[in-house]
Chains A and B, each alone.
Chain A
Amino acid sequence: MNGPLLELKNISQAYGDHWVVRNLSLSLNKGEIGCLLGASGCGKTTVLRTIAGFEPLLRGEIHLNGTTISREGHSLPPAKRAIGMVFQDYALFPHLTLFDNVAFGLRELSRPETVVRVHEMLELVGLDKAHAKYPHEISGGQQQRVALARALAPRPALLLLDEPFSNLDVTLRERLSTEVRDILKSYGATALFVTHNQHEAFAVADRIGVMADGAMLQWASAHELYHCPADRTVASFVGEGMLIPGLVEDAGDITTGLGVHRGIMCRPGGLPGRAIELLVRPEDVVHDDNSPIKAEVVRRNFRGASILYTLRLVSGDLVQALVPSHCDHAPGEHIGIRSDVRHVVVFDREDDVVTKAALEEA
């Protein structure tokens, strides 16, 4: 089959007068893992629930495997969508054993087939030995994996995961997120999950959509999101870094307090003479004692392998630098730095817009 497996076309959702999803589109190919990333309340879970069929669609269309499963005034019941879901609180049936939980969605299989499938699924998540236990007898991480096995067991066309790791502690979260990716990939599943944690998104997803206030800001790979963010919100939400003011020169070079930057701009940003802001990631600033550019250490944040310094340039602008932790400097010291910005990302300066608006008003 050609074309994407899942396609959302300009969908919108509202609770009463409040629009929670605005004109959102995305598409996911078979075997891909997608992720909706955004702060809580940005509408990402609503998108997921709409795809699952728990919320009727107000505007737009949702296609799965080429058929329309949701459009205005029409919604295929959740039970008929062939979509599996892993819930934030796992929603395991407490009155059923792990075996029966996984077997719950397999009513169309014969008994021997069911037994084979359930054991296959439990083995996939490494819990085959515990099949006779009840959900409250296993740990949170194990419950999470059972929820995954249960959702995958009926071989859904698409798997949805709602904040799948948010109920786990940090160390477990990291381990499980790679584990879940391996399971999904080995199973060839197409999945869309929702999280507010970018590390999870980076670890698991092939494509990530950053959402804010119900709208999709950018739908791209992790690399592209980080190095070529579509706007300020994405730039500040994904990864660390600072925006420093600069000026576009005639040759297309950019002058800032860090010096002159030459590079390929991700997108045409600013005409010569325009005041812009340049995105400087911590790894763009290299500690170099020989460099003529000096900066004052304002804050240091020890991270083990490296130290994240917040530095004040002579121009007064702040930048961050990720420096191997051998180089220990106290706040107040001046250290030499040079810039190594490889992906030049610029935005029109906000105050620029403000002055323009003020001028028009006058």
Chain B
Amino acid sequence: MPRHSTTRTAPRRGAVPFLNRGFYTGWRIATLFIALLVIIPLSVVFFSWHDPAREIWQHITETLLGNLLRNTFWLVTGVSTGTILLGVSLAWLTAVCEFPGRRFFTWALLLPLAMPAYVLAFVSLGLFDYAGPVQTWLRAWFGSSSWFPDVRATGGVVTILTLALYPYVYLLSRNAFQTQGKRLLEAAESLGCGPWRAFFLVVLPMARPWIAGGTLLVIMEALADFGAVSIFNYDTFTTAIYKAWFGFFSLPAAAQLASCLVLLVFFIIVAEQRMRSRMRFSESRQSAKSERILLDRRWRWLAFAYATTVLSFAFLLPLLQLLRWSLNIFHQEFTSRYLALLGHSLLLGLSAALLICACALLLAYTARRHPDAATCALVRTANLGYALPGTVLAVGIFIPVAALDNSVISLGRLFGFETGQIFQGTLLIMLVAYLVRFMAAGFKTIDGAMHRVTPSIDEAARLAGLRGLKLLGRVHLPILRNGLLSAFTLVFVDVMKEMPITLMTRPFGWDTLAVKIFELTSEGEWERAALPAVTLLLTGLVPIILLMRNSES
């Protein structure tokens, strides 16, 4: 009889019956632990103010801070404006209109997501800089290229980040335009609105939460970008943090700069979370396939030319240039050193992806078992790291780990042991930083798959006599498998491409492809950076293909 009573009370709706009551708190503790990994680096950078690095900070405020704020302001303003213009217009063209090549552009316009911004940055510099082929050619034909805009100016870096990041706005607003269908446009027309007027009165305002959501993601990425801005020598907070640490060797100054950046990011997160709830709010039910607007001949080809131009500059031209360079240097660069770099990148990517998938699965189960407010808040916190720039995380995690090391060393000395540094200079810091930064990417995917395991599936399985590990193996894992696989791929590729965390916290001499690109490009060796860049680009294509397949089904 007692057994009967437990089976009656314990498994609530959505419960996973293979774990007993004792684990209930275990789930929460594990989640709390992961959430702490986000909270600790944040607190560390803010607590760094209790011991301000006065001299360096004075130098920073006098010479750097104004410039940093100005640069950040122009970067954010320029990139958000640019991505909205590109992303919304392309999304509308491909979602609602019909023009030559529309089906191709629908997915091809996502391809720039595969190209890390720093790769686009150095290839474009190589192409359009004074010594590059474009200006050389112009000089050969017209005698001068002095009228050519300075690609290294603010406009250059804004253009590069716009081209690299517009797919976020494109993807989200396309989604919005598609779910709107044509019905509301027709409703507006039947009420006396012409098609253009209807676009500005109905279509655009309704897509606003999506457009804003995409733009906020773009701003986060722009604030967090380290590679592209450092290639352009365009000082922002991320490069300043790097310089404070590795130039002035002042971790406190780096942490204090990081806290400024976090403050900026904080406003963006709050705004983004609000947009997300609005998006859920106005989610439209109808997704009826609707007829497209057939553009007339002139507009049709203009649309085609426009999409081709964007795709060329954001993806095709850089890709061709990278391939050309790679071919040039392949025989001298494809060496055991390259293979070692590749091995490091792969190892990091694989282990981080495994770790993150395991933790994300844990979070997803916790969220499913305990839908109470406190646990939800913990799960959300554990997923906030996507907003934290890599430079901030590097600083925020390195400091407490170093402190831990030091206390272990002094504790050891107390007992007469000489331990040396245990955690510093290991992969541990990197993995933890990756875990925090890329958790959301894994969690979102796995949690999405988890929603397909409805409570009634569990109940049906239990009626069929499946319990415990059998239930997990025969029901849950097969349903979750695709989700786990895409989460693994997404995280793997993100980690491969990641630059600042790897650069700042890697064990000595432990270079990866991304780090190598940073080192080579900071010396202007565009050509030699091409081979690692192509490698990263090709891996980057995998999640894009996954994304396209998902959006089709």
Residue from the list B186, B284, B285, B286 in contact with A54, Cβ < 8 A: B186
A84 touches B188 (CB 8 A): no
Closest chain B residue to A82 by CB distance?
B192
**Docked pose: A52 CA to B189 CA in angstroms:** 9
Is B191 in the interface zone, CB < 8 Å from A? yes
Which residues of chain A are near B205, meaning CB under 8 Å?
95
Which residues of chain A are near B202, meaning CB under 8 Å?
93
Q: How many B residues have CB within 8 A of the partner chain?
A: 21
Q: Mark B179-209, 1 if CB is under 8 A from A, else 0.
A: 0000110111111111000000110011010
Is B282 in the interface zone, CB < 8 Å from A? yes
Closest chain A residue to B194 by CB distance?
A79
Which residues of chain B are near A154, meaning CB under 8 Å?
191-192
**Docked pose: A154 CA to B281 CA in angstroms:** 29
CB proximity to B under 8 Å, residues A265-296: none
B190 touches A52 (CB 8 A): yes
**Docked pose: A104 CA to B201 CA in angstroms:** 9
A94 touches B286 (CB 8 A): no
CB proximity to B under 8 Å, residues A118-165: 136, 150-151, 154
Closest chain A residue to B190 by CB distance?
A85
CB proximity to A under 8 Å, residues B269-328: 281-282, 284-286
**Docked pose: A95 CA to B188 CA in angstroms:** 13
Residue from the list A89, A93, A108, A136 in contact with B206, Cβ < 8 A: A93
A93 touches B284 (CB 8 A): no
Which residues of chain B are near A93, meaning CB under 8 Å?
184, 187-188, 202, 206
Is A78 in the interface zone, CB < 8 Å from B? yes
**Docked pose: A91 CA to B193 CA in angstroms:** 15
Closest chain B residue to A108 by CB distance?
B192
- Known A-B contacts A136-B281, A136-B282; the reply to A91 vs B184 at CB < 8 A is yes
B190 touches A83 (CB 8 A): yes
Which residues of chain B are near A150, meaning CB under 8 Å?
191
A104 touches B282 (CB 8 A): no
Which residues of chain B are near A108, meaning CB under 8 Å?
192
Most-contacted residue by chain B among A83, A92, A93, A151 (CB, 10 A): A93
Which residues of chain B are near A52, meaning CB under 8 Å?
186, 190
**Docked pose: A91 CA to B184 CA in angstroms:** 5
Least CB distance from A229 to B in Å reads 34
Which residues of chain A are near B284, meaning CB under 8 Å?
94
Least CB distance from B190 to A in Å reads 4
User: Interface majority SS on A: helix, strand, loop or mixed?
Assistant: loop
Residue from the list B194, B201, B206, B282 in contact with A77, Cβ < 8 A: B194
Which residues of chain A are near B187, meaning CB under 8 Å?
85, 87, 91-93
Closest chain A residue to B187 by CB distance?
A91
A78 touches B183 (CB 8 A): no
Least CB distance from A306 to B in Å reads 39
**Docked pose: A220 CA to B208 CA in angstroms:** 48
**Docked pose: A95 CA to B200 CA in angstroms:** 13
B186 touches A91 (CB 8 A): yes
A79 touches B189 (CB 8 A): yes
Residue from the list A84, A91, A104, A136 in contact with B183, Cβ < 8 A: A91
Which residues of chain A are near B193, meaning CB under 8 Å?
79, 104-105
Q: Mark A54-69, 1 if CB is under 8 A from B, else 0.
A: 1000000000000000
Least CB distance from B188 to A in Å reads 7
B191 touches A84 (CB 8 A): yes
**Docked pose: A136 CA to B285 CA in angstroms:** 11
Which residues of chain B are near A151, meaning CB under 8 Å?
190-191
**Docked pose: A77 CA to B196 CA in angstroms:** 13
- Known A-B contacts A87-B183, A87-B186; the reply to A94 vs B191 at CB < 8 A is no
**Docked pose: A95 CA to B209 CA in angstroms:** 10
**Docked pose: A30 CA to B426 CA in angstroms:** 85
Which residues of chain B are near A77, meaning CB under 8 Å?
189, 194
Residue from the list A54, A91, A107 in contact with B192, Cβ < 8 A: A107
**Docked pose: A95 CA to B191 CA in angstroms:** 16
**Docked pose: A105 CA to B190 CA in angstroms:** 8
- Known A-B contacts A78-B186, A89-B183; the reply to A105 vs B191 at CB < 8 A is yes
B206 touches A104 (CB 8 A): no
Which residues of chain A are near B192, meaning CB under 8 Å?
79-80, 105, 107-108, 154
- Known A-B contacts A94-B284, A95-B206, A95-B208; the reply to A84 vs B190 at CB < 8 A is yes
**Docked pose: A80 CA to B281 CA in angstroms:** 33
Which residues of chain B are near A95, meaning CB under 8 Å?
205-206, 208, 282
Interface of B toward A, CB cutoff 8 Å:
183-184, 186-194, 201-202, 205-206, 208, 281-282, 284-286
Name 14 interchain pairs, CB-CB below 8 A, sorted by A.
A52-B186, A80-B192, A83-B190, A84-B191, A85-B186, A87-B183, A91-B184, A91-B186, A91-B187, A93-B188, A93-B206, A104-B188, A105-B193, A154-B192
The 8 closest A-B CB pairs, nearest first, are: A105-B191, A91-B187, A85-B190, A78-B189, A91-B183, A94-B282, A79-B192, A95-B205
A79-B191, A104-B188 are known; give 8 further A-B pairs, CB within 8 A.
A83-B190, A84-B191, A85-B186, A87-B186, A95-B206, A95-B282, A104-B201, A151-B191
